Structure 1
């Protein structure tokens, strides 16, 4: 009996201790929940309105769950609401008490945002927030998060004035590892550092302005490989409606690319400037149709050559290689009312571009090589390089066209040049070097029975006089060297209100005229 009393006493002590511990834990659990509620209800700035259903806190696991969350954010000064967000839940797991209490680190294993729906309203006053209080960027606390997950989100950007959608992303899913925010990173454009990430989305839509819109059926980023599915860049209106809305010339565009793939992609900010680096970009089976209504007022704004465009990009771009696989391009122009638009087609297009960069870490030029079939028949090759570092935009182009049947391009010639052609071009070679002002080069052709027919202004009949006079000066190909070639020179000055390809066309046309009408001898 004597031994039993001490044992009972020990049991009672243990039971009382456990009860006290449970009571203390319950008090701490309740206090923690009240602390979080007080923090959310009283510490959030006035321009942010937060509503939620319930809060669950578990001190043992260091977890937090907030359900049915609605967050409205207004402009601090103007008071107008610009962001609405609703989430099914916000959860946190593995809060680090030890480092928080004894150190300067606020950390957790995982934060998850479930089904966030974001609506952002563009407003001109949103970016004009002013405050007499200086921005506090320094902090001694370090925030560390092992894993951030956003599941099944949606983002919609709405233009406030017109109530039109400018940008949407459906089924937004993001996984981000090893986030850290400290007094150094908080001053950066992206205020935290991070490790590996994964991103995939459903449909993406972007309004690119008054005339075009871009859409994707989905995106996926994993291990720094980005894949875009079913990219579409199209005019918002059909050709006729677009022409009625224009006050100056603007192309109708219909571009579809089933797959775009970027490999070894890296992006971010260096100081205040955004950068994008990638080893390879591949466009699979792009199909583009461009239509220009020449009856609309010309656009006399000066156009930039591609080297200047690259040099003046607002971002740092460095792409080692760009490839186009099995592409198709059709360009058509309407020159006269009541006529069929003339069209030029390039099919089976394969192209590679190297050193597409404005970083200038090396002295390499941008090199382009392209092969296609002109009008679906004649093989055409183009080699082109330019140096975006140089202010005068120097470039070099060489091209080859073989087995070209001139009748295949007559639809374009009738519409655009009021002419038709007869005969075959077996081989055409040209080389061309120039800059932003002018270009020169040489050409050689091997052709048979090549002749022009000049049409009347209404394109309904032949202008016999001009056709006769023109063909007096056009050699049919019979007067050539022993290899069957005739030679010509090229010179053209650039019209700065036109594109680079207009510049290239002027040079090729000058070379053809010189080859056809000159003495045909090699200098």
Structure 2
């Protein structure tokens, strides 16, 4: 036999031997892997699968049709609390054979979980994640990368069976994962270098009164982008009012896009922090509704200085922007009369240096600039500043309104005050400095042909002739084409909001000019 035939036969024999050895090893290694998943799985969850394929050649493990259920639910069918999952495929790549055979642990480069449906039945006090999931998981498998592909997730309250969260088509990528004894003691029980999270839609029911919905959401190490955010009341206005014992706002918020840029978050020891360069809300439509039928809420309403100062975590937002938006405020004495409505169109806000006072001694002023069209009619500009660390909650707010047809505000004054108005405010200025107790400052207004029609309380279609006559006698019809200036001083009502304080200050100035 010629020498090259001998070499060819030797190579073929070696190849056949390698193939047979690979098949044998593949079959052999399935046993310790199965043992790791079942016998060595001391988590709170029972795992089954339809098939598992191991390739020594490719250093990969593929499991198909995996089912995960809580061990408690197997023994007690009435106890549904925990995670239930059905997973089409789990793929582990670049695993180390030695650790599987001799250390009863799967060490690998990455794990990919594909096409899963996960349901969490949540109790108020769930078991600690680091104890029931992350810790036992790390005993079974150690990987540097985790990918979750095409997942759906639902969360229910285990007692009420109310759906709390529904997220569709989730995709997650975690890189540089490290789990140690030290990280298991941290608030986040593992470390990671990079991450990205996205989903097609989210529906969240945070409490009895609201539903939160979104379309696409994308989150990375540094940015968040949300499309079509909606915070919608669960109840109608009548239902809401029937369920509250004290006055409370009902909010409806729609937003085309929300973007957060250059963010950093996490824990410094036990303290949570969230920092970012900018938060941008584009095309917001916000409606704030308040019924005056319930009892007054007599608790003190703190100003924004104190609310930010007392936050229990480290917040830092360099810039907050609200663009191309609409803000509406409706207040209703009774459902029979209907609500009075104030509307701010083309609303644009730019706020800088928003911080919490958490573990801080000194901070720059929060500065807020607002421009909009009041009642879709007249330019309104406001400049507002305050310092979070000011224990007196001091602030300065100044603004101007131009060429306002007062007939436009009848939508608010008629149902709320039984008054119809006519005339034009050519120019209005205010500059108020105040704190938690009082305000003082300057108010100026120029107006023409201002008239008031007082309506009957029992029939708003008819004029109260006597009250209207008195108004004509005592109210100055115009300012003779001059800007009238007055000083304003006013005590704050602690049970009312900052905006009530501002409105009363403007009304005080108007009253001094008109009468």
Q: What is the TM-score of this pair, normalised by structure 2?
A: 0.88
- Choose from 28, 31, 34 the match for 2:28: 31
C-alpha displacement of 1:337: 4.5
Q: Work out whether 1:64 is the aligned partner of 2:55.
A: no
Rounded Cα–Cα distance in structure 1 between residues aligned with 2:37 and 2:143: 21
Rounded Cα–Cα distance in structure 1 between residues aligned with 2:6 and 2:249: 93
Which secondary structure does the structure 2 equivalent of 1:424 belong to?
Answer: strand
1:288-322 CA-to-partner distances (Å, cap 9, x unmatched) read 22222222333333333223222233432211111
The answer for the alignment partner of 1:203 in structure 2 is 201
- Choose from 337, 350, 353 the match for 2:351: 353
Contact 2:443 2:509 in 1 (8 A): yes
Rounded Cα–Cα distance in structure 2 between residues aligned with 1:356 and 1:191: 30
Contact 2:291 2:331 in 1 (8 A): yes
Gaps of at least 5 residues in structure 1 are 518-523
Contact 2:419 2:452 in 1 (8 A): yes
The answer for the alignment partner of 2:478 in structure 1 is 477
The answer for the alignment partner of 1:409 in structure 2 is 409
Within 5 Å, which residues of 2 pair with 1:122-201? 122-127=122-127, 143-145=142-144, 147-201=145-199
Deviates more, 1:8-17 or 1:412-421: 8-17
Q: 1:81 to 1:285 in 2, by over 3 A?
A: closer
The answer for the alignment partner of 1:520 in structure 2 is none
Rounded Cα–Cα distance in structure 2 between residues aligned with 1:345 and 1:236: 23
Within 5 Å, which residues of 2 pair with 1:443-454? 443-454=443-454
The answer for the alignment partner of 1:116 in structure 2 is 116
Within 5 Å, which residues of 2 pair with 1:222-371? 222=220, 224-358=222-356, 360=360, 363-371=363-371
Gaps of at least 5 residues in structure 2 are none
Q: 1:307 to 1:74 in 2, by over 3 A?
A: farther
Contact 1:267 1:276 in 2 (8 A): yes
C-alpha displacement of 1:455: 3.0
Q: 1:52 to 1:440 in 2, by over 3 A?
A: same
Contact 2:22 2:57 in 1 (8 A): no
C-alpha displacement of 1:230: 0.5
Rounded Cα–Cα distance in structure 1 between residues aligned with 2:81 and 2:478: 74
Which secondary structure does the structure 1 equivalent of 2:393 belong to?
Answer: coil
Contact 1:74 1:82 in 2 (8 A): no
C-alpha displacement of 1:510: 1.2
C-alpha displacement of 1:21: 5.8
1:493-521 CA-to-partner distances (Å, cap 9, x unmatched) read 2223322211211111112112323xxxx
Q: 1:13 to 1:427 in 2, by over 3 A?
A: closer
Rounded Cα–Cα distance in structure 1 between residues aligned with 2:303 and 2:8: 89
1:407-457 CA-to-partner distances (Å, cap 9, x unmatched) read 111231122223233321111100111122222211011112334333332
C-alpha displacement of 1:203: 1.3
Aligned length, in residue pairs: 506
1:263-295 CA-to-partner distances (Å, cap 9, x unmatched) read 112222222333222211111111122222222
C-alpha displacement of 1:379: 0.8
Deviates more, 1:487-496 or 1:505-514: 487-496
Contact 1:141 1:182 in 2 (8 A): no
1:31-55 CA-to-partner distances (Å, cap 9, x unmatched) read 3210010111111227321111111
C-alpha displacement of 1:195: 2.4
Rounded Cα–Cα distance in structure 2 between residues aligned with 1:473 and 1:217: 56
Q: 1:235 to 1:476 in 2, by over 3 A?
A: same
Contact 1:85 1:119 in 2 (8 A): yes
Rounded Cα–Cα distance in structure 2 between residues aligned with 1:136 and 1:71: 17
1:297-352 CA-to-partner distances (Å, cap 9, x unmatched) read 33333333223222233432211111111111122222245323211111011111
The answer for the alignment partner of 2:418 in structure 1 is 418
Rounded Cα–Cα distance in structure 2 between residues aligned with 1:241 and 1:136: 46
The answer for the alignment partner of 1:461 in structure 2 is 462
Which secondary structure does the structure 2 equivalent of 1:115 belong to?
Answer: strand
Deviates more, 1:340-349 or 1:41-50: 41-50
Which secondary structure does the structure 2 equivalent of 1:179 belong to?
Answer: coil
Q: 1:67 to 1:456 in 2, by over 3 A?
A: same
Contact 2:320 2:350 in 1 (8 A): yes
Contact 1:491 1:511 in 2 (8 A): no
Contact 1:438 1:491 in 2 (8 A): yes
Q: Work out whether 1:49 is the aligned partner of 2:80.
A: no
1:182-234 CA-to-partner distances (Å, cap 9, x unmatched) read 34333322222222322220110111211111100111235633211110111
Rounded Cα–Cα distance in structure 1 between residues aligned with 2:14 and 2:382: 87
The answer for the alignment partner of 2:378 in structure 1 is 378
